[in-house]
Chains A and B, each alone.
Chain A
Amino acid sequence: MIEIKDLHKSYKMGSNSLHVLKGINFSVKDGELVAIMGSSGSGKSTLLNILGMLDEADSGEYTLDGVPIKNLNETKAANYRNKFLGFIFQSFNLINYKTALENVALPLYYQRMGRKQRQEKSLKYLEQVGLKEWSHHLPSELSGGQKQRVAVARAMVGEPKVLLADELTGALDSTTSYEVMDLIQKINDQGNTILVVTHEDDIAHMCKRIVHLRDGVIVKDEKVKQVRASAYV
């Protein structure tokens, strides 16, 4: 599903340049649940942003579902993001003046789906994350865990190839974190490919594979025995 070869990325900071990714090679197969771990500054978020086409690599190859991702202009990147990827952010990033349902429906709007269809499909995904009754509430009326579940529904609604989650439990307490991870595991059980960036060990161990990043290189890539989050809920 994801194929990365010799990926480099550096940021210009005035006269110095900060070399963040120093040659990353890795691949993700269909249906995997991968955690990318590392301390802050290890380059894990940068990697995720490049995978999410929110940022561009300086050099290296990136293939997503057989499509080479390079020389993207903004429009093309936007279309790929819409078609291939679903995002879950630490700070939820819901649009605060739209209801839960409208937030979930937004990716479909950019897929130019009809309004009725959009609402039906969004409601279905809201039901999956257990928030059907909350569909007409604004984000400000939802708890943190509920917000993140709306974000998960929004990431899923476009039926993306890959789900990218950046510290998705970072703003949640541990019980809520496990609830959300339970949801993620269930989505993975349905065969969806998911990448989770985290620095929390317990969250990482709820995935099937952990990639350790330090100072811009992969230091360890191991398969782990998955801890089911439902055990804690």
Chain B
Amino acid sequence: MFSRDTWREIFDTLRKNKLRTFLSGFTVSLGILIFVVLFGFGNGLINTFDDFFGDDATNVFYLFAGRTTMPYKGYKSNRRIEFENDDLSDINKNFALFLEYSTPRISRGGLVKYKEESNNYTTRAVGPAHQYAEKTIMMKGRYLNKEDIKNKTKYVVIGRLVEEDLFGGSNSIGEYIDVAGSAFKVIGVFQDDGGDREERYIYMPYTTRQLIEKNTDKLDQIIVAFKPEIGYAGAMAFEKSLDKFLREKKYISPQDQNGIFIRNVADQLKQNQQFARVLQLIVAFVAFGTIVAGIIGISNIMVFVVKERTKELGIRKALGATPRSVIGTILLESIFITTISGFVGMLIGIGVLSSLGEKLKDFFITNPSINLGTAIFATIILIIFGGIAGYIPARRAARIKPIVALRDE
């Protein structure tokens, strides 16, 4: 069945029926091509989505303090709540089991000067762990470390665009800049995927900021990150007990909406992931539809091809072709065409995707691509169904009595 002669006969038939060969091949190629491109676009959409939400760590709570709106345990309402250093250390102590890291954040605006250049920037006074919470990427120099916190050093880490604005092209590491009247040494330059705004921040040790502000121990915000392995449910439980702990410590009514507020990135992430999953589902559905359309296309063509060849098959049977050889020939032909054109379509599709790259970013499609395994899997599915689509009419043709097939006009 797989002898050289069989293949020669098949190539011969394919070569001499170019239009038919081309049409069936084209259907398969087109099906796979559309599948690959669509699937790639879907992935591109998800990539864009990840870009939007993925620039900060996702296992993070942001704790904000506000003003109370309810009297509680003898305290009046409209009392201003502020975090202090010992709140942070209490959280670290009590929730060590859940915590991956924690950092305070004190944000201040101010005029920053270097030689002739000056500009207004937001400085964030933070701890070393802030780097993970913001996914800050160091370009040169280093980030703030524990020693800087302990020694209250006057060091700053500046954003890429701050360096660009103030230093032009020259190197900023080791230079001193004036931040709201105090001189700070630049020890690092960072970049951030979050966009231009994120790259115009200046980071300094929070202890230094507190020292400047009359040695206060107040903190604006506390950022805590939980261990990812506690999972979504663990994170929700952690959030709840953290909230309870802080309300007890700060004497805030459990019903008070405004005393403190916890922004849970994990919860947002969950929603985002659900949205991404729905997107993926829609993409998968459309892609599946394309494959089904492809299968129907190739089935139609195979039915037509066999119908068209009924007489020829009758002649072949009269001359001594066995049913097996009739089925085998048609099946091999169809598998051969679908395999070749399927992989051609797949490669074209992958080529189209990789040539697009970032060109469709305006349409929310970033870096569209398809997993090679998925593409090959889809191609093989189409080949298998192409085979089945060829087999069913071929079997029927093989069963037709030659005398009936010969009468077919």
Tell me the A residues contacting B by CB distance below 8 Å. Answer: 49, 52, 54-55, 74-75, 78-79, 81-83, 87, 89, 93-95, 97-98, 102, 106-107, 109-112, 114-115, 154, 158
Q: Which of A83, A89, A158 contacts B406 (CB 8 A)?
A: A89
Size bin of chain B's contact surface:
20 to 34
- Our count of residue pairs bridging A and B at CB distance below 8 angstroms stands at 68
Interchain CB contact under 8 A, A87 and B5: no
Interchain CB contact under 8 A, A107 and B319: yes
Q: Once the chains are docked, how many angstroms separate the CA of A111 from the CA of B5?
A: 12
Interchain CB contact under 8 A, A97 and B320: no
A110-B325, A115-B8 known; A93 vs B311 contact (CB < 8 Å): yes
B292 an interface residue at 8 Å Cβ cutoff?
A: no
A55-B403, A109-B5 known; A82 vs B324 contact (CB < 8 Å): no
B322 an interface residue at 8 Å Cβ cutoff?
A: yes
Given contacts A74-B323, A110-B319, 20 further A-B contacts (CB under 8 A): A54-B401, A55-B401, A55-B403, A74-B322, A74-B399, A75-B322, A75-B324, A78-B322, A78-B323, A81-B319, A82-B319, A87-B319, A93-B311, A93-B315, A93-B318, A97-B13, A98-B16, A107-B320, A110-B321, A112-B5
Q: Which of B12, B312, B318 contacts A54 (CB 8 A)?
A: B318
B402 an interface residue at 8 Å Cβ cutoff?
A: yes
B398 an interface residue at 8 Å Cβ cutoff?
A: yes
B-side interface mostly: helix
Interchain CB contact under 8 A, A106 and B318: no
Q: Once the chains are docked, how many angstroms separate the CA of A114 from the CA of B3?
A: 11
A-B CB contact pairs (8 Å), 10 listed: A55-B401, A74-B398, A75-B322, A75-B324, A78-B323, A81-B318, A94-B315, A95-B315, A95-B316, A115-B5
Chain B residues near A115: list those with CB within 8 A.
5, 8
CB closest chain-B residue, reference A115: B5
B130 an interface residue at 8 Å Cβ cutoff?
A: no
Q: Once the chains are docked, how many angstroms separate the CA of A59 from the CA of B264?
A: 87
Chain B residues near A83: list those with CB within 8 A.
320
Interchain CB contact under 8 A, B317 and A78: yes
**Chain B contacts with A in 292-335, Cβ cutoff 8 A:** 311-312, 314-325
